[in-house]
Chain A
Amino acid sequence: MQAIAATPAVPALVAPALVAEQTLQAQAPPARPAGPLAAGKRDAVGEPVPHFFTASQLAALHRLCELLMPPMGGNPGAVEAGVPEFLDFHVGQSPTDRQQMYKGGLDLLNARATKQFGKAFAALDAKQADSVIRPLLVLVPWQFELPKEPGARFMTAAHDDIRVATRNSREWTQAAIAAGRRPVGAQLYFAPVDPIYRG
């Protein structure tokens, strides 16, 4: 962020026409200390507006977030960290295959919940939900390729996304600071260099 430049020093040789302006400047209030003007943060002021998942998919995702990443050890859980709404945004921006994996996976949770318990996944208690989730959990010794089976594929990806998005949230950092712990995740950000502007 670039600070607003201070008023330039008055040149030693002042042209007569500028004298009046110089007088005006002399009467102006003193300059404020330089600092960023736009320090507000998006996540601190705005509520995300989900638009990608259907209502039943979003409800299932909400319940999945509660179960996979609940509040633990003084840290916020995925729901408190706004992860369902964040994933609605992030998956909505994604290539089609990731979108379909998520939609298909959430529909699968609802379908199995309906088949086993006659209600949506969002309405299951923890024990019921466990019987839907557990068959989809697989070991992932190799983290760079998702399982081929669609249900396990969705669960592996969603589990990872939910955990990372929770830990990367503003809420997680705030909780860490409040508890006197070192916040995780701050890194050097490499800004674009001399980009080519098109259009």
Chain B
Amino acid sequence: MAKQEFDVLIVGSGLSGGIAAQVLTQKGISCLMLDAGPEVNLATNRTTKNPWELPYRGLNKPGRLPHVVQANEFNANQWVDEKEVPYTHDPASPYNWVRVRFVGGRSLFWGRQSFRMSDWEFKSADKEGVGENWPVSHADLDPFYSRVEGIFRVSGRKEGKPHFPDGNFLDADYGPDSATVKKITEVAQARGILVSKIRASNGRNGQASSVNLLLPDAVATGKLQIVPNAIVREITVDKKTGLANGANFVDRHSRQELHVKARVVVMAAGSLESTRIMLNSGTPGAGLANSSGLLGRYVMDQFYGVQVVASVPEARGGKAAEGMMGGTALLPRFQNLKKGENRKFSKGYGMLIASGGAALPGFFTEYGEALQQKLDLHSGACMTASIYGERLARYENHVRINKDVKDAWGIPVLHAEVKDSPNEYNMAKDAADTAEDMLKAAGWDILSKTDKFHPPGYSIHEVGSCRMGDDPKKSVLNKWNQSHDVKNLFVVDGGCFVSCGWQNSSLTIMALAMRASEYLAEQMRVGAV
């Protein structure tokens, strides 16, 4: 029995797949969306519990989710089971791949920080003389950023600075700054550093996910079918034309193998998962759409973890005056914005300074009553500086297929080989020193300082394994997120990134996905795809 052929198969239902489905279906294009995970209802699937009501008193089942630092016993069931869908790495170079497999993907749980990238990221070769330019600029993405900001109801404070581009923001009332935020703002401004505020997606009804903001519109057109628990094994190819013609997938529960036909395939499974599927497709050993040999290369994400904590003397012992503590200051990247700054690193980091935190036990070599007195003394009196550091795009940092290891459905897994370089270490050291310097200059006492950071992957902003560019020899995708090799294959997740920036990636992923989907719809309308 011949089944329906869909116009477009979308693999993945997170932010990028949701955008693709919304744009394409509203243009009358029939879409099938496959997601590897089940549908979840956050309202009924979550209940408040005390830690002692959990099997392991909130300390988590030992050894579960070794790569997910974010996991605890309350949220452990959110994440992909690493035994069910493993990946491998050299034990000496850990990689933390943090995954979710539900309809809606990681958009169900994301932190919602919503920053635009600027031309200091898109055009770093021009602006800073390092790295490679993207084939798109901020001006190209500006209208798409604005539309995505409208859908996600992003709030932010406008600054009028091109390295921290303003957007289509809701009027946000941040209230008056606390005295400590004012103080650190003065210190930073005296050094010529812009001080702004977090920009975040408000969403609707407490959720800012693909499931409530994108997919309902697409389903309402009658043009979208979403099939959960459909794990894509490979993209299938027409041998005569070399074009993609659908996908083989396996049912998560029954393990039945199925094939679906489509005129166009849009990959939106998350950077590394889309790359994995493409490497498992096409020519054995080479993968699909990989004439450049760069599929899986240039994996990157921001490095997090560098942290400096200071204590405000006047706020200790619960004596903070009203309005002294609380709130945050965001310092968008302030390094290498001009050529020739002559630093020990390229690119840069953003910094978040939060007022009103607590000290940790590890800041003191005390225990028992003596420790508790110190913790009580500094409780609520701490200023915490943490950073978002940009990792450079490096060819050596890559994922490849490990044929020797297969997941629970017999699909070969990824091997990650991603390492840090002196640029990251030097940037981290500079960030810790700079934060210490500013917190001291504000008159506060440093309690703790570290320039260490988490292994690659930890920020959950992994991008770049399927980079875009104008030269088919140096990139996998063109500037429309379209494969150079396979014209009816698009990759709309973060795989296309040429650099990762210091900014959280979701907003840029969505703007690019929207732009690519509109291009695809137009190409289909004129019959070019």
Residue ranges of A at the interface with B (Cβ–Cβ < 8 Å): 41, 43, 67-70, 72-73, 86, 90-91, 93-95, 98, 133-134, 137-145, 156, 159-161, 163-165, 168-170, 173, 183, 185-194, 196
Please indicate the chain A residues that have their CB under 8 angstroms from the CB of B63 in the complex: 94-95
User: Once the chains are docked, how many angstroms separate the CA of A191 from the CA of B44?
Assistant: 9
Q: Contacts A68-B368, A193-B40, A193-B77 known; A168 to B362 CB distance under 8 Å?
A: no
Q: Contacts A143-B360, A168-B52, A189-B49 known; A137 to B366 CB distance under 8 Å?
A: yes
Q: Contacts A139-B362, A160-B361 known; A41 to B57 CB distance under 8 Å?
A: no
B454–A189 contact, CB under 8 A?
no
Give which listed residue, A67, A70, A189, contacts B54 with CB less than 8 A. A189
User: Once the chains are docked, how many angstroms separate the CA of A69 from the CA of B368?
Assistant: 5
A140–B62 contact, CB under 8 A?
no
A164–B58 contact, CB under 8 A?
yes
Residue ranges of B at the interface with A (Cβ–Cβ < 8 Å): 37-38, 40, 45-54, 56-59, 61-63, 69, 74-78, 84, 102, 229, 252-253, 305, 307, 360-369, 372, 408, 448-450, 452, 454
Please indicate the chain B residues that have their CB under 8 angstroms from the CB of A91 in the complex: 62
Please indicate the chain A residues that have their CB under 8 angstroms from the CB of B47 in the complex: 188-189, 191
B46–A188 contact, CB under 8 A?
yes
B367–A133 contact, CB under 8 A?
yes
Please indicate the chain A residues that have their CB under 8 angstroms from the CB of B253 in the complex: 196
A165–B57 contact, CB under 8 A?
yes
Chain A residue with Cβ nearest B56: A90
B50–A185 contact, CB under 8 A?
yes
Please indicate the chain B residues that have their CB under 8 angstroms from the CB of A95 in the complex: 62-63
Please indicate the chain A residues that have their CB under 8 angstroms from the CB of B449 in the complex: 141
A173–B305 contact, CB under 8 A?
no
B369–A186 contact, CB under 8 A?
no
User: Once the chains are docked, how many angstroms separate the CA of A142 from the CA of B229?
Assistant: 39
A141–B450 contact, CB under 8 A?
yes
B58–A141 contact, CB under 8 A?
no
Give which listed residue, B48, B77, B307, B450, contacts A187 with CB less than 8 A. B48
Chain A residue with Cβ nearest B72: A187
User: Once the chains are docked, how many angstroms separate the CA of A194 from the CA of B426?
Assistant: 45
Chain B residue with Cβ nearest A77: B368
B450–A142 contact, CB under 8 A?
yes
A144–B69 contact, CB under 8 A?
yes
Chain B residue with Cβ nearest A184: B51
3 shortest interchain CB distances as A-B pairs: A140-B362, A94-B62, A168-B51
User: Once the chains are docked, how many angstroms separate the CA of A143 from the CA of B452?
Assistant: 10
A186–B48 contact, CB under 8 A?
yes
Least Cβ distance of A27 to chain B in Å? 37
Please indicate the chain A residues that have their CB under 8 angstroms from the CB of B364 in the complex: 139
A41–B452 contact, CB under 8 A?
no
User: Once the chains are docked, how many angstroms separate the CA of A137 from the CA of B365?
Assistant: 5
Q: Contacts A189-B74, A193-B77 known; A98 to B368 CB distance under 8 Å?
A: no
A165–B69 contact, CB under 8 A?
no
A72–B45 contact, CB under 8 A?
no
A190–B50 contact, CB under 8 A?
no
A142–B368 contact, CB under 8 A?
no
User: Once the chains are docked, how many angstroms separate the CA of A68 from the CA of B63?
Assistant: 25
Q: Contacts A183-B50, A190-B45 known; A72 to B369 CB distance under 8 Å?
A: yes
User: Once the chains are docked, how many angstroms separate the CA of A173 from the CA of B48?
Assistant: 14
User: Once the chains are docked, how many angstroms separate the CA of A169 from the CA of B121?
Assistant: 48
User: Once the chains are docked, how many angstroms separate the CA of A145 from the CA of B448?
Assistant: 15
User: Once the chains are docked, how many angstroms separate the CA of A192 from the CA of B38?
Assistant: 11
A168–B365 contact, CB under 8 A?
no
Q: Contacts A168-B59, A194-B38 known; A187 to B74 CB distance under 8 Å?
A: yes
Q: Contacts A41-B53, A193-B102 known; A93 to B62 CB distance under 8 Å?
A: yes
User: Once the chains are docked, how many angstroms separate the CA of A138 from the CA of B40?
Assistant: 44
Q: Contacts A94-B63, A165-B57, A187-B49 known; A67 to B365 CB distance under 8 Å?
A: no
Least Cβ distance of A62 to chain B in Å? 15
